[in-house]
Every structure is written in C-alpha cells, then in structure tokens.
Chain A
C-alpha cells in the first residue's frame, strides 16, 4: 500500500479518556497537520494535557483512535519521530545541561552534533556545563524543550513550554516553533495564556474536554466579532456559538 502524503500527521477519532473515574475527553475528533503551529488553548484542567498525552501515546484511553504518522500513537516505529515536552520539566536535576542532552541523544540515537544544535536553538549555550538544579525554572523548561528537539522529530508536542519565560525569550521560542514548522514539522503547543493565541497558525480552544473553536486566530476574531482571543473565548462559552472548522 502506498503511503498517502496526507496533511493529517495526527488523526484523532472519537477519543474518550477518563482519569480517576472522571471523563476528561469524550469523543474528541481532531486532525493536525505538518508545516503548521497549532495552539491548544484553554483554562487549567480543561483536558489539554490529557489530549497531548494521548497524542504521544502515554495516556491510557478508553475509546477512540489516535494515529500518528499512520501508526497508532506510541508505536515503537514512531517514538523517535515525536518530541514531547511535559508541563513540568522532565530532566535530571543532578546532571549538567549537556549531560542531560547527551544522555537523551544516546537513547534516541541522535547524531553527535545534535546536542550543540538544540542548545543554540533554546539559547542555553552558555549554561551547557551548569547543573540543572542550579538553573531557573524557565531555563529548566528550556532544557526539557531542548531534549524534545533532539533527533529533529517530525511531530512536536509541547505542553505549556513558554510558562514563566520572559517576553523576549517567549517571542524567540515562538519564532523557533514556526521555523520548525516551516521545516515540515507538525507543532502542537498548549497554553493557558490566551494572548499566546495570535502567535499560532491555527487555534484550538478547549473547555471542559470539548473543542469549542478550531480556526485561524484572525478567523476566530472575525467570527466572534471580538478584539482578542480572551473575549472570543468568553463569547463562545456564553453564546454557545457553534464550532466551525477552518479545515477538515
């Protein structure tokens, strides 16, 4: 069978997830594309992380399918192709930045030069020999992000990667996400900060486990007649404007 070069790098159909007896996602459908930065926005506890964990294949799901690059999420063949950053930085505190990266690069089988490449991508070249435990929270987040960039994955799933960063750095990282997307990656970035929305190519607004919007930031503002995404979110919640999809 020929592998179709479809836009849908990730296809989610009828995804249902319950965590400790509570339904978090109930029948969610979604297609995510390459060469696109998709923002997943919504308040804390709306199910963003659960959805992202499902995309990576580390979440137990009750029903539905998640296909990544044509394989079920978490398949051995696609694991090296998916970079994942958890909300809390998952790196080793008592190793230096470079030691962390060299270790994860070895696990991924990434080439040697990759460590230097990702260090400069997240702007931590000067901190390479510092212990992670001595870094600030924002720097630790960037180490965790750097690990996800090793091996140039084609899918990047980033759970609140810009929390606690200063505005300059935040802008630079969003620039990086767009560069990675331009190189062909599908980039999904979650945030609970609505003002990050305008930096995305495509916006998914989420509330109580449901997607309440899926369109470009400009399209969302035009449809709701609002000036910013926060107002648009409120409008959608209060008026229950039906979900429209910019692409299917």
Chain B
C-alpha cells in the first residue's frame, strides 16, 4: 500500500463528487428533509421522535454511502478505469482505502448536518456527546461504503446495483430494532438480527442518544460494526481482480 496513491484516489473521488452538484445535494439535503418529516409526523409525540430519531442518524449515513459507493465503484469497473488502475502500480488496498477515506469524509459532513439539525433545531434528545455521535455515524457510513464496494462486484449494471439496496439493506432495516425492540422479535429473527451489522449500528446510536457515558456496550457495538467493515473491505479486495476473463 502506498499512502500517496491512496490520497490521490481519495482526492480524485472528492473532486469528481464536487462536480456532481445534484448528487451532493441529494446526499446532504435528503437526510435533512427526511428527519424533518419524521419530526413533523411526531410533532405531538416527542417521545417517539426521540426513540426513532437516534436509529435514523445511524441509518442515513449507512444507506446513502451504500448506494453511492456501489454505483460509483460499478461505473469504475464498467468504464475500464479500474482495469487501467490495476494495470498500473496501484495496490487494491490503495483503491479501497481511497474510496473509504473520500466517502468517510462525506459521511462526516452529512452526519454533522443531520445531527445538527435534529439536535439543534428539531430538539432531538441526545445525552451523549456530539463527537461520539459523529464517530458512530462515520463508522456506520464506512460500513455502508465497504458493503457497497463489495456488492458492486456482483452487479453488471447500475440498475442491478441499486436493487441490492432492497435485497441487503431493507431486511436489516426491518430487523435492527427500529420497528420492534430486537429482543421482542421471534426467536429465529432475533438470531438473524444478532448476526446483522446494522443492528449494532443502531444499538450504538441508541446508547449515544440515551446515555451520557461511553459504555462498554458502545465499544462492543462499534467493534462489531468495524469488524464487519473490515470483513467487507477484505472481501471487496478479493473481488478486485487484475485479470478478468
């Protein structure tokens, strides 16, 4: 791995993104609109907003980064630029880490905006520190990026890539504890929920919103999400093949 190349990849992705005003607007504005919509729905039931708001702060960075990464990596695969890069002295980790850094930075901005709006304007009750909240959001975003990189290997078109979202993300969304507390799920589904990374992303965010301290459970949840992220990146690295058929 070569840090210069990694940085070159990351700054190139950010430069491309800067040109794409519409995507940037969708990434930054849509989560803000959604959280405002949620606040409005529960404007007379603050407790519900407080309960659901936290998990959503975990879900937005995950979902947005999953989508953006899977589609951009796929276009890198189909346009021939990935093949060209792999024919150059670029390590696969340089490529993956470049993506992770670039989208990680975007996730920071996105999370700060949404969290700032939710806490500062809409009155979401967050007991933990804003820094911890930002950190959890970044880890969630990196998980989305890593999974997006991985699934892009299994899609041939952007249309297929987008379909991975309902296939892989929505089941996690249903089982992550947002609709029913995870321990209230039927036993088998609880086991499934225990195996899925988004459950831990949401658990971590719930701890931040409900507790002022950094707890051992928070460390454990973040460690599990990070382990999934590294696992997905490693699998993603396997799918970046220099030689193709």
Contacts and interface: CB of A to CB of B under 8 A. Distances in A.
Interface in B186-245: 242-245
B80 A90 contact: yes
B41 interface: no
Contacts of A8: none
Nearest to B17: A94
Interface stretch (A56-64, A163-171, A181-189, A220-228): A56-64
Nearest to A61: B243
Interface residues of A, number: 32
Contacts of A76: 89
Interface string B74-106: 000001110111111110000000000000000
A99 B243 contact: no
B87 to A, nearest CB: 5
Contacts of A86: 80, 83-84
Contacts of B9: 107
A167 B16 CA distance: 33
A147 B20 contact: no
B45 interface: no
A74 B245 contact: no
Nearest to B88: A107
Contacts, number: 76
B8 A84 contact: no
A55 to B, nearest CB: 11
Nearest to A18: B245
B89 A58 contact: no
Interface string A15-43: 00001100000000000000000000000
Contacts of A94: 16, 19-20
Contact of B80 (A61, A79, A88): A88
A50 B83 CA distance: 14
A16 B151 CA distance: 31
B5 interface: yes
B158 to A, nearest CB: 14
B242 A74 contact: yes
A58 B88 contact: no
Contact of B88 (A59, A88, A104, A131): A104
A160 to B, nearest CB: 13
Nearest to B81: A90
Interface in B4-26: 4-5, 8-9, 12, 15-16, 19-20
Interface in A50-87: 56-61, 74, 76, 79-80, 82, 84, 86
A58 B243 contact: yes
A10 to B, nearest CB: 15
A147 B175 CA distance: 48
B84 A79 contact: no
Interface of B: 4-5, 8-9, 12, 15-16, 19-20, 79-81, 83-90, 242-245
Given A57-B243, A92-B16, A103-B8, 9 more contacts: A57-B87, A59-B243, A60-B245, A79-B87, A90-B84, A92-B12, A94-B16, A94-B20, A99-B12
